[in-house]
Amino acid sequence: MEQELFDTLAELEMKAAKDSLMDPDSAKFLSILAITNKAKLMVEVGSGVGYSTLWLAYAASVTGGKVISCEIDPAQAEATRANLAKANLTDYVEILAGDARTTLRQRTEPVDLLFIDGDYGQYETYFDVVYKRMNIGSTVVADKVVAHENDLADYTTYVQNHPNLESVTVPLGQGLEVTVKISE
């Protein structure tokens, strides 16, 4: 990992509000999953200040891929832009400012990895918008499924009972639901 990325991650871990930032081990695990899957196109819903975006961009720098990061709040999108610049990872990320439910419908590329960290009531919608562009082996990681178990119960029930998916809750950080598409 380059020093600029290391320093930017450390700065965010020190300064950013802990409740809005992804748990560091979860973010590293997400990045490792993306690299293991050799993910070329990764989509993120909810960049916040860009902490998880940096970890995905790092994975993209390893796989030769790219990240499309969605953020509805213009100030947060700007913070993500600034943090990517600090970490020298701007070239790996396209930021889609606006509501992911709209911006992602305008895209057509196949998606290898989807990371969901937006508002709790919409996880299934984000999933459905991207699902039609996922191939067998494509992976979905959803954050906070343990910390917000009740809010996200409909989502976890949905992916765990879907006939074309395998899904497991990983009790790391605030809880990650890791889902893989196994059939069409």
Ligand X SMILES: C[S@@+](CC[C@H](N)C(=O)[O-])C[C@H]1O[C@@H](n2cnc3c(N)ncnc32)[C@H](O)[C@@H]1O
The site for ligand X (CB under 6 A) is made up of 20-22, 45-49, 51-52, 70-73, 76, 99-101, 117-119, 122
DSSP-H helix ranges across 104-144: 123-131
Q: How many angstroms separate the CA atoms of 54 and 47, rounded?
A: 9
Question: Is 69 or 161 the residue whose CB approaches ligand X more closely?
Answer: 69
Minimum gap (Å) between residue 159 Cβ and ligand X: 19
3-state helix, strand, coil in the chain (%, to 5): 45, 25, 30
Residue 70 burial by CB count (10 A; 0-12/13-18/19+): exposed, middle or buried? buried
Q: How many angstroms separate the CA atoms of 60 and 138, rounded?
A: 15
Question: Is 25 or 119 the residue whose CB approaches ligand X more closely?
Answer: 119
Q: Which residue's beta carbon is nearest to the bound ligand X?
A: 46
Minimum gap (Å) between residue 119 Cβ and ligand X: 4
Q: For residue 155, what are its two tokens?
A: 């989502």
Minimum gap (Å) between residue 117 Cβ and ligand X: 4
Minimum gap (Å) between residue 99 Cβ and ligand X: 4
Minimum gap (Å) between residue 63 Cβ and ligand X: 20
Question: Is 52 or 167 the residue whose CB approaches ligand X more closely?
Answer: 52
Residue 14 burial by CB count (10 A; 0-12/13-18/19+): exposed, middle or buried? exposed
Question: Is 100 or 130 the residue whose CB approaches ligand X more closely?
Answer: 100
Question: Is 98 or 166 the residue whose CB approaches ligand X more closely?
Answer: 98
Nearest residue to 142 (alpha-carbon basis) of 163, 161, 162, 120: 120
